Amino acid sequence: MELKGKTAIITGAGRGIGEGIALAVARAGANVVVNDMNFENAQGVVKTIESGGGKALAFKADVTKKAEIDAMVAATVAKFGTVDILVNNAGIESSPMLLKDIPEKQWDRVLGVNLKGVFLCCQAVIPVMMNHNKGRIININSLAGRRMTFFGSADYTASKHGGVGLTLHLAWELAESHITVNAICPGATLTPLAEAGTTPEYREMVTKRLVPLGRWCTPDDIGGAVIYFASDNADMVTGQLLDVDGGVMTGYGEDLRPIVRKRMEELRAKAG
C-alpha cells in the first residue's frame, strides 16, 4: 500500500472526482479527511472507506472561508497527527455564456472557490508540512488551465489558469522544504453531475471529435494520477502538470464554437 500511514485532506470529496480520489487514496492505505459542503455526502464516502477497513473523517468546510479551513486542518492534526497530502479538488463551474453576459457575482464565486480556495487550503497546511520537512500538494486543475473550456465560461478558464500559476510558484517556493506541488488536468470526466448535465448524444459527439482514446475519463483515472504524485515514486517531481485526458491535448479535434454557442442558447432558453 503506497500511502500506508499517510494522512490526506481531499476537498470537494463528497461526490464525483473528489469521491473517486478519496476512495483511491484510502485503498492505497492513507487516512482520509473527506471535505465537502454537503456533509451527508461526505459521511457517505467515509462509511464506504471505513467499510473497507480504512480510516476517515468527514468535515464540512467552505474552502473560501479561512476560519473553516483552519479548523479542518486543526481537526485533521488532532485526529491523525499531521497532514502529509493535500488534494485541492473542490471546484465549480457555471453554465457556458459569453464574457459580456457573466454577472459579477458569478465571476467572484467561481474565482473564489477555484482559486482563492486553493490558496487558503495551501496556506493552512504548509506550516504543518514544513514542520515535518515533507509534503505533497496536488491541485486538481483542468484542461481549461492549459487552453480554455467549452463546457463553462471565461470565469472558469481564468480560475484554472490562475491555478496553474499558483502550482508553479508554490513548487518553487516550497522545494527547500521538500514539499512537492503538482497539478492534474482532467479532460471531460464522467461523474454523476456530468451525466445529469449532458445527454449521451452530446458525450458521444465530444468523444468522437476530441478524444483519441475513445472515452471520457473516470474518477478512478484521476485517482490513479493522484496516487502517483502522492507516492514516494514522485519524490523528484514538482511543478508539473499532468493531463489525464485521453489524448485531447494532442490537438485532435475540430472547431466546436458553433455547437457550444447553440448549447448556450438552449440552456438560456431552458432557464427562462
Residue 254's pLDDT band (cuts 50, 70, 90): low
- Contact at 8 Å (CB) between 215 and 207? yes
Residue 150 in this model has a pLDDT that exceeds 80: no
pLDDT digits (tens, 9 = 90+) for 109-128: 999 999 999 999 999 999 99
Question: Average pLDDT of 139-147?
Answer: 94
Q: What is the pLDDT of residue 148?
A: 86
Q: What is the pLDDT of residue 194?
A: 79
Q: Is 156 a catalytic residue?
A: yes
Q: What is the pLDDT of residue 116?
A: 98
pLDDT digits (tens, 9 = 90+) for 194-245: 777 778 888 888 888 888 888 989 999 999 999 999 999 999 999 999 999 9
Residue 193 in this model has a pLDDT that exceeds 90: no
Share the mean pLDDT of the chain: 93
- The residue from 156, 202, 228, 252 that is catalytic is 156
pTM for the complete prediction? 0.91
Q: Name the CA radius of gyration of the chain, rounded.
A: 18
- Per DSSP, the three-state class of 22 is helix
What residues contact residue 4 under an 8 Å CB cut-off, 6+ apart? Answer: 28, 29, 30
Q: Which domains does the chain have, with CATH numbers?
A: 7-271 (3.40.50.720)
Residue 268 in this model has a pLDDT that exceeds 80: no
Reading across the β-sheet that carries 85-88, which strands appear in turn? 56-59, 31-35, 7-10, 85-88, 135-140, 179-186, 241-244
pLDDT digits (tens, 9 = 90+) for 37-70: 999 999 999 999 999 999 999 999 999 999 999 9
Judged by average pLDDT, the poorest of 7-16, 183-192, 234-243, 254-263 is 254-263
